[in-house]
Amino acid sequence: MITGVIALSEYTIAIEYGAGPAFNAFFVGEAKPGTAQTATGWRIKRITYDLNNNATNIEWANGSSAFDKIWASRALYTYS
């Protein structure tokens, strides 16, 4: 698993993705700059892809793009 955080003017972007054929999804989170990864205020999406690296699905944590999630809890949400 590889993670990174990018600070942009409007949002901080956090990305987590894995390596190898067994991991076929990655997560992208957005929050206002300064929002802790353990604080509420993130919107999180999961992007899945096939073995040819083609994106196949984009789903939101708990089915919502609202900024009410916690980045550190991204693996605990359901995605739709």
Whether 71 shows a pLDDT value over 90: the answer reads: yes
Q: What is the 3-state secondary structure (H, E, C) of 17-34?
A: ECCCCCCCEEEEEEECCC
Structurally, the chain folds into a number of domains equal to 1
Range of the domain at 61: 2-76
Half-sphere exposure (Cβ direction) of 25: Cα atoms closer than 13 Å: 14
- Tell me the pTM: 0.80
Classified as helix, coil or strand, 71 is: helix
Whether 53 shows a pLDDT value over 70: the answer reads: yes
Average pLDDT over residues 50-56: 80
| pLDDT tens per residue across span 22-41 | 567 789 999 999 999 999 99
End-to-end, the C-alpha distance of the chain in Å comes to 22
Task: State residue 8's pLDDT score.
Answer: 53
Q: Which residue has the tokens 């994106």?
A: 55
Integer Cα distance of 62 and 4 in angstroms = 22
Q: Return mean pLDDT, the chain.
A: 84
